[in-house]
Amino acid sequence: MQRVSFRDMNCSVAQALEVVGEWWSLLVVRDALLGVTRFDDFHRRLGISRNVLNDRLGRLVAEGVLEKVVYQHHPPRYDYVLTEKGRDLWEVLDAMRRWGDRWAAPPAGPPMELVHRRCGHRTTPTLHCGECGEVLRHGDVRLVHGPGADDRSPQLRDSPVGSGAEGRR
């Protein structure tokens, strides 16, 4: 597949993708999280070919990230709706958004911001340890092999994230 540039989109997620890979599928999920459900709307917003979009949507449906919901029977027409598995990608998209904001935002500031419905503030989510509650930063954590590790898992090396010191359980 030919590489497409996301550079000209004013979207931090797209900026992150410009740096780290081709990823129409995640932009489809991004738009689905923004409430888009119709083929023609994805097509108009993403500006990709109908073939590529059709391929990506079909794959996301096959993977259980999106599901097709009939909204018209004759002829059949579908909404593409995120499943729980799909909605759960919001943390990935949001991590990309935050990274893009820090490293590729326009001079005026981030193009998109998150509002916490309950407290009402524009907010930047922070990662905390699920055990002690402290804020987690790179260097505060290391990776170890979990119960599902096998010889196809990434090998561990000494590193800021990742240390083989503990080995496997």
Residue 156, token pair as written in the block: 């561990």
Q: 149 in helix, strand or coil?
A: coil
Residue labelled with tokens 């994230």: 161
Among 8, 70, 73, 75, contact with a second copy (rule: CB under 8 A): 8
* Window 22-61: contact mask with a second copy (x via CB under 8 A): xxxxx--xxx-xxxx--------x--------------x-
CB of 58 to a second copy, least distance (A): 13
Q: Which amino acid is at 39?
A: F
What angle (nearest 5°) sits at the alpha carbon of residue 160, between those of residues 154 and 163? Answer: 45
- Give the footprint of a second copy on residues 124-153 (CB under 8 A): 124-132, 134, 136, 138, 140-150, 152-153
**Cα of 131 vs its chain's centroid, Å:** 25
For residue 69, give the H/E element and its range: strand 66-72
Closest among 42, 50, 49 to 80, alpha carbons compared: 42
Cβ nearer to a second copy, comparing 8 with 75? 8
CB of 29 to a second copy, least distance (A): 7
Q: Decide: is 114 part of the binding site for a second copy (CB under 8 A).
A: yes
Cβ nearer to a second copy, comparing 74 with 118? 118
Q: Decide: is 75 part of the binding site for a second copy (CB under 8 A).
A: no
